[in-house]
Each structure stands twice: as C-alpha cells, then as structure tokens.
Structure 1
Amino acid sequence: MVGPLETYDVVVVGGGFCGCYSLHQLRENGFSAHLFEAGTGLGGIWHWNCYPGARVDTEVPCYQLTSPETWETYRWRQRFPGRDELKDYFRHLDRVWDLSRDISYSSRVTAMEWNDAAHQWHLQVNNGESYCTARHVLLCTGFASKPYFPPIKNADVFKGETYHTSLWPQNGVKLDGRRVAIIGTGASGVQCIQEVGYVASQMTVFQRTPNTALPMENPDVTDSRREELRQQWPEIKKQMDLTFAGFDYEFVSKKAAETTKEERMAMYEKLFHTGGLHFWLGTYKDVLFDQDLNDEAYAFWRAKTLKRIKNKRAAEILAPEIPPHPFGTKRISLEQGFFEHFNKPNVDIVNLRENPISELVPQGIRTADGVIREFDVIIYATGFDSITGGITQMNIRGASGQYVKAKWDHGVYTYLGMTTSDFPNLYFTYGPQAPTAFATGPSSAENQGGWVIECLKYMRQQGYTRIEATRPAEENWREHVNEVANDGLFPKAESWYFGANIPGKPREALNYMNGWPEYRKWIWDNCAKKGYKGFTLSKLKDSQPVTASL
C-alpha cells in the first residue's frame, strides 16, 4: 500500500484498457506514475463482470491495444472473447509491460482535493486508509462502473439471494435447479439469460424495453485465421483509424434513400448474417436519421426474430409490431440463442410496461396485477449510472471548493470530453461528451490517453505546472456535442446515451456522436496544435497565466 507521503507526477485511477495503456506510456515518457485499482486484478469492467455469459461485443482483432509487443504475442481464441479470455489478455499486458510494480490493488480512490498553492491533487484511498499527492490525475474509471439499482419498494425484505450483474461474486453463484428472476434485458441481461436458462429450474425475465439484439456469430479463431489476421493487421489498423467507431468496417458509403428496396434487402441480408454489429454500425448511415428507412430496418429485424420465437405471447413482448424506439438508437446487444430460450417451458417473461413490479415480498416479487412469483435468486441486470457515474461517485473537490458531482448535477460540462473547468490537472478518458459509447475501450485508451500524454509532455517542456479548461471552451463543446446528438433519431429513445435510465438525471447528450475522425480533428487540430486552445496554462510562480484563445 502506498504510504501517506508518496508524491507522483501522475496518478492513474482504474486498471482497464485506458489505465493500463496510460500507465505504460507515462513510464515510457519519463513520468513518475502510480495506478490505483479497486479490484484485485486488472481488466476494469472485465474484472468485475464475471456474471454468467459475460462477453465483449467487439470482435477480434479490433478489441485490443495496438502496440506491437502486445498484439504480436497474444493468441485470441474466439471472434468475440468471453470474460475469462479477456482477463487472460490483461494478465498478458501485465507480463509484457510489467505493470503491477506500479499498481496498488484493492485500492479505491474515494476522495480528491486540489491544492492551488502547490498545483497538486491530494488523494484519499479507501476512505482514509492511505493518502498521496500528484501533480496530475487521470481518471480511467470507464463509463460503466457505478451500478444502478431501481427503486423497488421493500427491496430489502426478500429472503432469497440478490445480485447485480456488475457486482457478481468472483467465485460464482450456484444457480442450477433454482428459481431465478432476472430484471432487465440490456446487454448483461441478454448474456445472463442465455446461460441461466440452461440451468435454472425456473427463470422469469422482467423486461421494460425490448432489446433488438443481433446474432453474434462467434466461431473459434483457428490457427489459419489467426495467421491471416496477423498478416492483415497493419491494414486493419489503418482502417480502424478512419472509421466512425474504430472498427475495421464502416457505414455504407451510399445512402439508403438512393437505393431500391431490393438493393436494401440484399444488403440487410448480408449484414445480418455477417454477425456482430454490422447490421447496426455497418449499414446505411441515413437509417439512423430517416424514420421511414429506420422502420424498414426494424421490420427486417423483426421478421428474422419472429421466426425464432414459437411462444406467441413472448414474441409480441420481445419483438412488438410497433417499434419501442427507432432501431439502433438504444444500445444493441449481440446474442447467441437468446430468443429461443423463451420457447422453453421453464422460462417466462413479464412485460413491465403493462405489469410493473409493485414490490418485493419475502418469497419473491409481486407485480401490479397482484400475482406473487416465488424465487430463490433475484438478479438485477439493470445497468449503470453510465458515462458520468464513475467520476461523480468520488468526492472530487476543485479549485473553488466545488465538487464535480455538484457541478454536473444540472448538466455535464466538459472540454473535449477529457477535462472540466475548475478542476485543474484533472483528465478523464472513456467518459462524458467523448465518443465513449460509440467506441471501444482500446480505441479510447490510445486516442484520448495519447492526447493526455502529449499534453503533459508539452507542459513539461514549457515549464507549466497547471492547466485548466476555460468556461467558454466547455460551454462551446457542450453546445456542439448536443447539436450533433440531436441531428438524428437518437433523441427519440429513452436511453442511457442521454441519461434517461437514471431518475432525476438531466436528459442531455452524454456522448460525442460524430465519430473518431471528427473527434480527433477537435482534440488535435483545433486544440493541441494551437497551443492547447481553450485552456489556461500557468507555472507555479506565475502571476499572469497564459490562455490559448477560443
């Protein structure tokens, strides 16, 4: 454990992709750095997400860091790796980069306070168990690190076992032959249902919003395929740098409105059977802007899905005739036999739109119709206080004495999705008003983490010890982020993209939806190459800080 007098150039918080990459790059560039990780091992969300069926929905080889020493020596086993394979990959990163020598595990940063006289952050770990100081702090807490529990009446009276998918016990849970309730059909719900349905004596799914999940198609990576990907990697990497989401595929260049229906149906067939997210993020881009074209895409998805569901009542709940929201405007999950589970006699589904949960009772769940369903285990697959929750759950006090949570309570303000005014020398990756939910952890690590490293190098070269985003800069960025997000069908959905899943959370764009190429223009061409435009930089003894004009 780090002692109370330790001081670093940079403290990194969180040991996922962004944290691992940043710690390595900081050390490579001569900064003293230390990483605090709340878990007992690396992986970030892949450390905590050990629920049944946990698996990534970005395919190999895109879901990895691109440094040659990391990818040349790792052998991926599946197109879409499962949690155990991803944990193994992080152990590989640790071995290759010797990361653990500068990491404190089981160490949660619980509070931070800025000392403006010293241009330093003072950090508290594990509620005062230890302390340290750092010139700069980089938060790599991810967009899904604060679980959300819905406010269900009498939630504490249930006498069985309750679990949240993101807080799953590391040694697992016995579900064989038990009566299990699963609340939620988002990504973790879909994956959990697919596994629990095989072993539970009874499984009841409580669904609020249908998930327009797509077939995963997850073959093993053969030796020949692995070698093919290795040979193709340089070109794949170039393609990833040019695409909207950092994948090795992109939206169709031609507009759907410029094609015939026959052409579109042929394209949809191809994309659907390719598996993965191609039918969503590899389709015609105007499907996400034109309601009629969007309805057509939903109808195609529904026709494919209905063929797989024999239970007519379940079919209408899972794939209703009227779309629950425009197709693709809520996070689409990938599935492997998800819909077929609802054909089994031991599986039931409750439509919470028509029959909500009224309360928990000692033996299970009572719904609004008065029916009590008895369970041994209740699983909350209810998601997260996404995008901002990982940051606001820490007590971070800025230069004026304001806490970041209070600042963002009525709306998020960041500059470039990596900084916020009144909080000098504080950076965050994979967070609010960045490409986050429309990107991958590895791409965010290298794009945003790379920007932070270059900023710190610039400050060191110029002798600056303090950098802070200006209020006008973050107001302009917020306006731009919301303007981009509202130019399409996304605002029609009640999604966590806009904070709609958390009661009382402001409804606003939490992600930058213009893609990586445009985002990189902002952070490099419009900011870094212009002397860090939009920031105020100063030295410890400066009386007149330098502000790069807007």
Structure 2
Amino acid sequence: MNTYDVVIVGAGFSGLAMLNRVRESGLSARVIEAGSNVGGTWFWNRYPGARTDSECYYYCLSFNKELVAEWTWSERYPGQPEMQRYLEFVADRADLRKDITFSTRVTAMEYRDEGWDVSLDSGEQLRSRYVATGLGFLTDPHVPDFPGLDTFAGDLHLTCRWPAEGVDLRGKRVGVIGTGATGVQAIPVIAQEAAEVVVFQRTPNYVVPAQNRPMDPDEIADLKARHYEILAKARAHSFAMPFDAGHGAAMAVDEDERQRIFSDGWARGGFRFLFETFDDLILDPAANEAAAEFIRSRIREIVHDPATAELLSPRGYPYSGKRPPAGHDYYEAYNRDNVRLVDVSAKGAPIQEITPTGLRTADASYELDVLVLATGFDAVTGALTAIDIRGRDGITLKEKWQDGPLTFLGTTTAGFPNLFMITGPLSPFANLPVCIEKNVEWIGAALDHAAGRVVEATEEAEQDWARQTREAVEPTLLTEGEGVHTWFLGANIPGKARGVNVWFGGANNYFRICDENADQGFPGLTLR
C-alpha cells in the first residue's frame, strides 16, 4: 500500500493549488483525478458555449509569478478550450503532473489509526495522514427523474458530460431542458448549428450580457504588471472580484440617474451590473425590483415576440435569488426562426414524460433527435457525499449532513479528523480561484501547525460557524430563491435538506476571519 502525507482529490484549480502548497511544506502528496487530464470543471464541461462568467485576469491562479507573467489570455471571458489549456499550462509550468493519478476515482475513504484509508476504483488502496478534497461547488450532476428518460431513442447528453469529440447537431431537432447558467450559455451556440431548438424553461433567469471581446495586447501587459495589486483589490471585495464600489443606495437617486447607472452597468457587462451599479441590490427590495425591472425592459427591447419576451421575464423572485448568469447573445437567440421557448413551469405545461421520439408536456408533444439536459448539480455537498467517507465511529459524511452541512470555515468538519475541504460547504460563493487560493493558504498553514498531529474541528466551532452563516444571509434577499429551486439553498434537489449551503457574509470578511484564526493559532481546531 502506497503511503503519503496528503492525498488530494481532484486536479482542477483547487487540487493543483493544494499540491503546489503541500510541496512547499516538504510533504509527500498524491492527487487522484477522475478525468484523463487536469482541468476539473473545465475538463468535464465541454458543452457548446461553455466559458467563464468572471473576467480572465482575476479568474486565475497567482501562487507562482511565472504563471502570471507567461500566460496571455485571448478573451475577456475565456471559453472552455482556453481554460483547459490554461490549467494544463499551470500543471506543466509548476511540474505537477508527476504527482497526479488520472482516470481514477476515489470510491471510499475511512478514518482509521490517525489517518485515512483511501479506496480507488482501480482496486488500489492508499494510506494517507491527511486528505484534502478539491471537488468544487458544481460537480455532481443532477438528472431529474423524468418518466421515460431511459426510453428516449435519440441522442441524450448532459451538458456537464459533453463528449470530448463534440456532437454533430447539424440538421437535428434539439430539445434543451434548463435555462440556468449552463443553458444560457449553450442555447445560442446550439441554435447556430441545429435545424430546430426547443427550449423547455421552468424558471426564467435574470441574464445580463457579458460583453465579451478580445483582449488588447497593451491591456494584457498592464494587467500583468498590476496583477498582485488587482488580487489585493479582489480579496477586499465581498465577492472576490476587483470591482469598484457602486453608487450607494439605488433609491437615493432620481429615476433618470438610476436608469443611467443601470445602463452603464449593462454596458460594462456581467457581474459588474450587480456590483458596480448600486450597493444595495441584494439588500433593499425596492432597489432589487428596480434592477429587475430594468432587466425585464431590456428583454422586451431585445426579443421581438412579446409573448416570448414575457415568458423570458423573471417575476416573483429577486434578482440574484438564483445565481445570475452572464449571457452571450442569449435573448437574441429567441429571435431566430429555429428557436422555440416552451413554458414547463407549474403555471405552464409541465413535462409529463420523455418518449422514445421526444418529450411530452401537459399540452403538447415534441419530436426530437437530440435531448440536452442542462439540469444543474447537487451543488456544494453532492460531490462529497457521493464518496463513501467514514469518519470516527464509522459515521458517513452523508449521514452527518442529512439535515444540512456543518463545517468550520467551510474547510473541516467535526468527527472527520485530518480531512480538509477546499471551498467546502459554508465557504464563500464568490470568484472561486481567489477563494480557492485563500483556502489553500489556510489549510497549508493548518497542516504546518499540526506538524503531523491529528487535527479536527470542534463541534462548538462548527455550530458557531453555522450560526454565523445563517446570520450573514438574513439581511439579504437571497433566501427568497427557495421557491425557484436555487442551489444556494439546496432547493433544486428533491428531498435535500433546505438551508444556506454557502457563506454570504462577504468573501473579504471570510478571508479576514481565516487570517485572524491562523494568526491566533487556529482556535476551533484541536490537536493531539
């Protein structure tokens, strides 16, 4: 049995950064990756139109100055192929591949004798003092239990498991189920190739255009020169993005000024509309409704058919109550002659079954050659509970979290000694590469502090963190997304415990709390 100081699960952003960090401490490590290459979410999510929703110059790793100096981005929002090339570059430039085992899944982990027995689907077992998981928020696919799904005779594809060789959609009748962040990206690109696209929408989304464009060489040079200044600004932002503050309270200015600021935010694109317009959009219902109505007005301007525009217009839940996507000609796609929108909400015609030749709703049947499921993920906890992880006394992580996840700082959980989670449950939902590197920094420091000893969160510490997480979201409008199945609250998975799964108290505040915890000698952790 091979023995290591640290086994790391996953070779995306998190796993690569963690491997680099434990090497700096002189620890032996092995990364186990299910895919055949590095990349994590960017390896698996190859669907048409897949790209970042955060801008390239802060959606990247910073642990090595050479990574910053030697990589040049081509677009403001890189597509999946470029993101995959970037993470391959990181692995090669930092010489990480030699410690990664590819095409292998961790099936089980059991805590025993002050360490972990890690079982792989190859039949091999590893022994490790510590384990760090880098599984991501959005990893474990959610496939709704549609009656008849297994009878469909056409091609069936999950967006998050899109074939590497691609899918030929020319001349095909394609049905797309789902209009979350993935569907919003995929639908316009699929529509350019397919003969016919039928979009089945349960809940319309607030989509702001990303305003993508090529990166200018002079701009790239300036961003590289200022990278660590930009990183510091991102770490000081509530969502870990290097944005300027908004214009105060939305209702403190007159209507003309409010519309001007919203228009400017729309032109800036993406998350800048949420964060650089006004500071109270997720706090004040009137401010939020003003932003929501501005987006609805833009939908009406863009989409030619009034009935389709109305179906695409979100109502009954606040802007950001669901994770707001960035669009790339999303609304414009519905002006194409080959794209139809079908309302499958409870107020419309819900999906009744998948048939061998297509899909049947409550009031119509649709003949399809290809069915694309953009139906989301068992977010935050799903990838962790999918592994048989057993802590002290044989209790599984799934059993412990059956009423909702409990962690200390989103990184450790009582009863599971020597187990660390990079951006685990109750860690910030924000710009993830920045959050990942701060988590890796804290975990690395905790490992150095432990110096080979058993380290474990106390129950008191994780209960206190759960309380702080609940209190952090209370002043916001984000909990109003439960009725529209937001994964923030676990509300997209039937039977899953409802509750806040991520920290909404500000990434900047979270980073400060982690820094203070490390400076104080890691209170909340026990060593033995």
TM over 0.5: yes
Aligned with residue 486 of structure 1, among 474, 481, 491: 474
Letter in 1 for 2:52: V
Q: Per-residue deviation at 1:253? A: 6.0
Q: What's the offset of the Cα at 1:258?
A: 3.1
Matched, 1:121 2:113: no
For residues 169-190 of structure 1, what are the alpha-carbon distances to aligned partners after superposition, in whole Å with 9 as ceiling and x for unaligned? 1111111110000000011111
* Map of 2:459 onto structure 1: 471
**1:359-398: CA deviation from partner (whole Å, max 9, x where unpaired):** 11111101111x2111011000000000111111000000
Distance 1:483 1:101 in 2: 44
Q: Deviations over 1:459-492 (max 9, x none)?
A: 11xxx51011111111111111011112211111
1:225-259 Cα deviation digits (max 9, x unpaired): 21122233232122112111111104426222433
In 2: Cα distance, 1:507 partner to 1:75 partner: 42
- 1:316-354: CA deviation from partner (whole Å, max 9, x where unpaired): 11015xx24101221111111111111222111111111
SS of residue matched to 2:434: helix
In 1, distance between residues paired with 2:326 and 2:524? 40
Correspondence for 2:359: 365
Q: Secondary structure at the match of 1:52?
A: coil
Task: Report the CA distance between 1:531 and its aligned residue.
Answer: 2.2
**What is aligned with 1:397?**
390
Identity of aligned residues (%): 36
Distance 1:486 1:400 in 2: 35
Aligned partner of residue 307 in structure 1, secondary structure: helix
User: Which residue of structure 1 lines up, in the alignment, with residue 320 of structure 2?
Assistant: 328
> Does the 8 Å contact 1:255/1:285 carry over to 2?
yes
Over aligned residues, Cα RMSD in angstroms? 1.3
Q: CA deviation at 1:261?
A: 2.8
Output the CA distance in 2 between the equivalents of 1:248 and 1:487. 24
Partner of 1:545: none
What CA distance in whole angstroms lies between the structure 1 residues aligned with 2:233 and 2:514?
Answer: 20
Gaps of 5+ in 1: 539-550
Q: Distance in 1 between matches of 2:168 and 2:329?
A: 22
SS of equivalent to 1:196: helix
> Is 1:63 matched with 2:53?
no
Measured in 2, the distance between the counterparts of 1:521 and 1:75 equals: 31
Which amino acid is the alignment partner of residue 340 of structure 1? E
Aligned-partner Cα distance in 2 for 1:163–1:486: 38
Distance, in Å, in 2 between the alignment partners of 1:491 and 1:137 is: 33
> Which of residues 251, 259, 268 in structure 2 aligns to 1:265?
259
- Secondary structure of the corresponding residue to residue 72 of structure 1: helix
**1:424 and 1:467 in contact (8 A); partners too:** yes
Q: Do the aligned partners of 1:420 and 1:469 also contact (CA within 8 Å) in 2?
A: yes
CA distance in 2, matches of 1:72, 1:486: 42
1:200 aligned to which of 194, 203, 210: 194
Does the CA contact (< 8 Å) of 1:209 and 1:324 recur in 2?
no
Are 1:245 and 2:239 an aligned pair?
yes
Q: CA 1:251–1:392 in structure 2 vs 1: closer, same or farther (change >3 Å)?
A: farther
Give distance in 1, aligned partners of 2:188 and 2:245: 29
Alpha-carbon distance between aligned partners in 1 of 2:182 and 2:507, rounded to the nearest angstrom: 26
Q: Aligned partners of 1:256, 1:186: CA distance in 2, in Å?
A: 27
2:491 counterpart of 1:500: yes
Task: Report what 1:41 is aligned to.
Answer: 37
- Are 1:315 and 2:309 an aligned pair? yes
**Does the Cα contact within 8 Å between 1:18 and 1:444 map onto a contact in 2?**
no
Structure 1-normalised TM-score? 0.93
> Does the aligned pair in 1 maintain the 2:240–2:508 contact within 8 Å?
no
Q: Which residue of 2 aligns with 1:342?
A: 334
**Residue pair 1:163, 1:380 contacting (<8 A) in 2 also:** yes
C-alpha change, 1:363 and 1:199, in structure 2 (3 Å) is same
Shift of 1:286: 1.4
Amino acid in the other structure paired with 1:239: K
Moved over 3 A (4+): none
| Unaligned segments of structure 2, at least 5 residues | none
Q: Which residue of 1 aligns with 2:11?
A: 15
TM-score (norm 2): 0.97
Aligned counterparts, 1:216-295, within 5 A: 216-252=210-246, 254-295=248-289
